[in-house]
Chain A
Amino acid sequence: MKSLQPVRGYRHPRSAVVTAWLAVSLIGGAAVGCGGRADVGRVSGVVTLDGTPLPGARVTFQPTTGGAPSHALTDASGRYELQYARGVAGARIGEHEVSISTLDRGNPDADPPRRGRPEQVPPHYNQRTTLTASVRPGTTQVDFQLTVSTARKPDNRLR
């Protein structure tokens, strides 16, 4: 019996070391699993048209120096979050040309058919867009306050 006592005494520190190693490796493994992309920053914001939130609008961020664009659809409260690739939220870091459009052709082939929607946003926000945005590393909040009224007169303030 006496010979057992030292063995018992050693076991506890050893299992503690093993447990600690285990915890460290688990945390390390989890950290590796959630790495993001270095060249992409998260972008979200709210789109309003004449002060009211604009739902169902297609937001496009086209990088001016080349690369893949990012898209988003605004939700019922006009909020959008850009998607760069499947499972990668955000847009490329740098300057972007932004276009916003509500044009939706609908889908006559669906059950029931999905109705389309006309363009509500003036062309200087989509086809001949003057909107720009800058995406920074981390998270960027970009809100767009669109107005229909400025479409009637030439507008230099946006540039």
Chain B
Amino acid sequence: MPRPATSPALRRGFTLVELLVVIAIIGTLVGLLLPAVQSAREAARRSQCSNNLKQLALGIHNHESSQRTLPSGWVYTDTRANAESWSWGALLLPAVEQAPLHAQLRVAQGNLAAHLLSSQWQPVTTGVQTVIGTFLCPSDTGLQGGLVHNDRRFNGGIGYTARPYTPGASNYVGVAGHYVVTDADRANSGLFYGNSRVRMAQIIDGTSKTAMLGERDTRNCRGGAWAGIRNPQGTAARGIWTAVGHSRAKLNESALPWDNDPLGCGQGFSSLHPGGASFAAADGSVRFITDDIDHRHITGITSQNHTDPRNGVYQRLLSRDDGLTVDIP
């Protein structure tokens, strides 16, 4: 079949200008679409992140059902300096379907430092380095293989020269309350501190009006560890703040150093979600609190500062017995 002689009109293709214009249009549309796709991805990660927070809050309620108290913020039985101690995360393991790990670590049979200094230290170290997905927030891009940041590393017992290791990370820390308090003799105004074992009846402000757990990211604020704390007497970067946070540091503080500054986010709460962080209230509900929340921390040496009516909304939410009830905004 003879091909018809191609006329010049049919031979015509796209000119270079037309091609460039088409590419530019497609590029613009993709450019407009990309932020939407990225924010959808972040929304999915945030949803997973708050779901984990919900699981932990439910685990705490399971613990409360069986033990009649919330878990202690950390177990303060070994009063030696730098004695590594279990925190609420380790006590919570049976309630979040990690009972075998709880048994392997012998959490109920002695504190962390004693196990690490015994001849059976190796299974304890490897157990503490377990990466538990429920304790991790997918939005945290600073996580290093699910282990705590090296700036928060543990020493393997007591002191600075033993067997250093980095325990499994946690993006969720307990609410200690208003004060920078380390020793178990001084109660804090939140739900988790040394030997706290807070009962539901002690949450005077109401369980829906008191924050229980909050987020902390690894990239900016060095996160936390689910298993424990490195020094029950320490308020520096490697002290009690791997398990808990207080209300003096501003939510998502970004201007001040994270380490050993009571105003730095390494002792407070933060996330990499844009504009705020998720918190679990004591009733188990998970709320997103924006970082422009009213914040005023009445600071001083008396133990009554948390009841001062000049305190901000954020400070009131993080105290269980300040008598200043406020709804989560």
Contacts and interface: CB of A to CB of B under 8 A. Distances in A.
B237 A1 contact: no
Contacts of A29: 28, 31-32
A72 B255 contact: yes
Contact of B255 (A19, A71, A105, A114): A71
B259 A15 contact: no
B312 A15 contact: no
A71 B250 contact: yes
Sort chain A's interface into a size bin: 35 or more
B254 to A, nearest CB: 4
Interface residues of B, number: 39
Contacts, number: 92
Interface stretch (B40-48, B204-212, B291-299): B291-299
28 contacts: A11-B18, A15-B17, A15-B18, A18-B25, A19-B24, A22-B21, A26-B28, A29-B32, A60-B263, A68-B250, A68-B251, A68-B294, A69-B250, A69-B295, A71-B250, A72-B255, A84-B292, A85-B275, A85-B292, A86-B220, A104-B261, A105-B260, A107-B236, A107-B260, A108-B236, A108-B260, A109-B238, A114-B260
Interface of B: 8-9, 12, 15, 17-18, 21, 24-25, 28, 31-32, 151, 220, 234, 236-239, 250-257, 259-261, 263, 275, 291-296, 312
Given A18-B21, A110-B259, 19 more contacts: A3-B9, A4-B8, A4-B12, A11-B18, A15-B18, A22-B25, A66-B312, A68-B293, A68-B295, A71-B256, A82-B255, A85-B254, A106-B260, A107-B259, A107-B260, A108-B236, A109-B151, A110-B151, A114-B259
